[in-house]
Chain A
Amino acid sequence: MNYATLPQTSSQIALPAWRSRTLFVLLLLVMLALFARAVYLQGIHNDFLQQKGDARYARVIEVPAHRGMITDRNGEPLAISTPVESVWASPAEVEIDLRQLMNLARVLEMKPEALRDKLQARRDFVYLKRQLPPEQARKVAAMGIPGVTLQREYKRYYPAGEVTAHLLGFTDVDDNGREGIELALQDELGGKPGSQRVIKDRRGHIIEDAGSLHAPKEGGDVALSIDSKLQFLAFREIKQAVLDHKAKSGSVVVLDAKSGEVLALANWPAYNPNNRKGATLSVMRNRAVTDMFEPGSTMKAFTAAAALEEGKYNPDTRIDTGDGKLTINGRTIHDTHPDGVMTVAQIIQKSSNVGSSKLALSMTPQTFWGHLSDAGFGMRTGSGFPGEASGILRDFKTWRSIEQATMSYGNGISVSLLQLARAYTVFANDGELKPVSMLRQAGHTAGEPVYSPRTAREVRDMLELVVKPGGTAPLAQIRGYRVAGKTGTAHKLQNGRYVNEYVASFIGMAPASDPRLIVAVMVDEPSGTEYYGGLVAAPVFNNVMSASLRALDVPYDAPLNNVLQSTQLVEEET
């Protein structure tokens, strides 16, 4: 009703003035309210509403990142991630009839009851089965069951299988490293999934890229120092030796003598990393790196080096080992073959415990400890391998004379095989201790001078005698190459007592004139008829070393008739 056009009516019915005023105020209030609401929606609450609006058509999708590849030094792939599909469901949205359920269960190779339980879970997201091969995934997609969706994931494959199992380790179902190199280099290898905002149409097709929130970071490829040819050889030989000698386990390490790079590292027993079902923790352990053992006579090279370095001895100094018995602190040290007066070189060649004890006792504990510590004993090698053992080299202040003597032939000191192999780089590099590396190194790697070049060469010459007839390991001789090495046959320590179980070992380098490779072999508890390092470990060394030298085209440094037949090798204990 318009009062203005009907003045007479208004004058007839005189309305109280407050009514129009009230109306005016009410209208004003409504307007204010609308205005406030507008400000609230478009200003203050804008972000939320914008977000809700976008959510009708914009989606944030995850862009999966690829895990980097692990290759050997020549680019051969050792671990590759390939995409697989995982099937997941949001149970609330699933519409499935009994026949479809049976079908799906069959394709997924699950029990129908188990599948039904999963589909009835009170969750928004449930994995039905992870990491399906593509063919199976395609069948699932073809069924087109609402609420059941595929998701791309990556699965790791190791083409070399058990050969590289301990070295590489493995990843978990989310493709994160859990063991070995996979864990050690997780930061380099692992990719970070990115996310992207996109606009989808009604049918779910992406029609516009609305900008990347963060770009996925693809995992980087890593080139290891491993040579897959040598790795394979090493694995085959150590496996054969462990089986032949009915041993508990065995390990072998091949180092590049010049750079300290690990060319091969293998253990037996091993497992298949592509299918870890049934693999126990003890089988999965990388024994060459994580396990410690008493090295036995392989330590004598360092005792001799320390004694030479102190200047009181030279390789021809004569030492009386008497009748092969030496009693210190009420304990007697024995030689298997008492040989009377021997030179320092012969002590190494024939592996005399009494002789090396006398060499060790000529030094103060601190000096001897210093030389061993300099060679890397009691310290991690810096390989970066997870769970690496540091070995045990006790503080010299706690040493008694008998302990100093037994340590000279490797009892009362613990090492890992990798550590021991690394320590031998000092003899291969004129006294320089090289850092151990699992990654391919470019160019020269600087070492740390530990012994004088002269000492290192003299010890190397002594180690050459070990493989000659009259030494403990004539079986380590290689046709065409000069070999220097040392055997070890150490009694095992069980509950604080030495028992008649042994660790047979051999560590050597070739060609001795200018060493290219160091091969360290360790066989734990050989329980066949043979247990000497010279009989159990030296042949493994021989096979691995000779094949590796051939594979690397290392020129001969000896005439081809250098292998001397010997009637008998010198036996040793420790």
Chain B
Amino acid sequence: MARLNVLLLVVVIACALGVVTSQHKARKLFVDLQYEKERAQQMDVEWGKLQLEQSTLAMPTRVEKLARQQLQMQLPANDQMRLVSIGGNEVRP
């Protein structure tokens, strides 16, 4: 009888230690999860900012200005355009 009690006591202590360890592990993992979540959110924020930046840089106003001023681009005049029909015949405007 006494032996059984001792055995049970040992089992109980083992279980208790197990609970403590797994709880500790769970908390550690949770902290990691929290950290990763935070990182995901930060990346989300950065993505939004990059999108914003991209669309600001790609504004038609800016693109047009750069095209005209830096690259000296312009719309072709009428006599510079050729209309090619599907049959391959060139039509002079």
- The residues of A with any CB-CB pair to B shorter than 8 Å are 66, 76-77, 80-83, 157, 159-160, 163, 205-209, 228-229, 232-233, 236, 479-480, 556, 560-561
Contact = CB atoms under 8 A, between A and B. Distances in A.
A160 B93 contact: no
Nearest to B48: A82
A207 B83 CA distance: 70
A208 B30 contact: yes
30 contacts: A66-B44, A76-B58, A77-B51, A77-B55, A80-B48, A80-B51, A82-B45, A82-B48, A82-B52, A83-B45, A157-B52, A159-B55, A159-B59, A160-B55, A205-B31, A206-B31, A206-B34, A207-B30, A207-B31, A208-B30, A229-B60, A232-B60, A233-B60, A479-B78, A556-B83, A560-B81, A560-B83, A560-B91, A560-B93, A561-B93
B49 interface: yes
Contacts of B55: 76-77, 159-160
A205 B26 CA distance: 15
Given A77-B55, A82-B52, A560-B91, A208 B26 contact: yes
Interface string B38-76: 000000110011011001101111000000000000000
Q: Which 8 A-B pairs have the closest CB atoms?
A: A560-B93, A159-B55, A232-B60, A159-B56, A82-B48, A207-B27, A77-B55, A77-B51
- Interface residue tally on B, bucketed by range: 20 to 34
A163 B59 CA distance: 10
A232 B83 contact: no
Nearest to B51: A77
A228 B83 contact: no
A544 B90 CA distance: 28
Nearest to B23: A208
Contacts of A208: 26-27, 30
Query: Looking at chain B's contact residues, is the secondary structure mostly helix, strand, loop, or mixed?
Result: helix
Contacts of B93: 560-561
Nearest to A160: B59
Contacts of B51: 77, 80
A425 B38 CA distance: 51
A81 B49 CA distance: 9
A306 B93 CA distance: 40
A76 B58 CA distance: 10
A82 B53 CA distance: 12
Given A205-B31, A208-B26, 6 more contacts: A77-B51, A159-B59, A228-B60, A479-B78, A560-B78, A560-B81
Nearest to B26: A208
A83 B52 CA distance: 12
Given A208-B26, A560-B81, A560-B93, A80 B52 contact: yes
Given A82-B45, A83-B45, A228-B60, A159 B30 contact: no
Contacts of A480: 83
B48 A81 contact: yes
A77 B93 CA distance: 39
A448 to B, nearest CB: 35
A235 to B, nearest CB: 9
Nearest to A64: B41
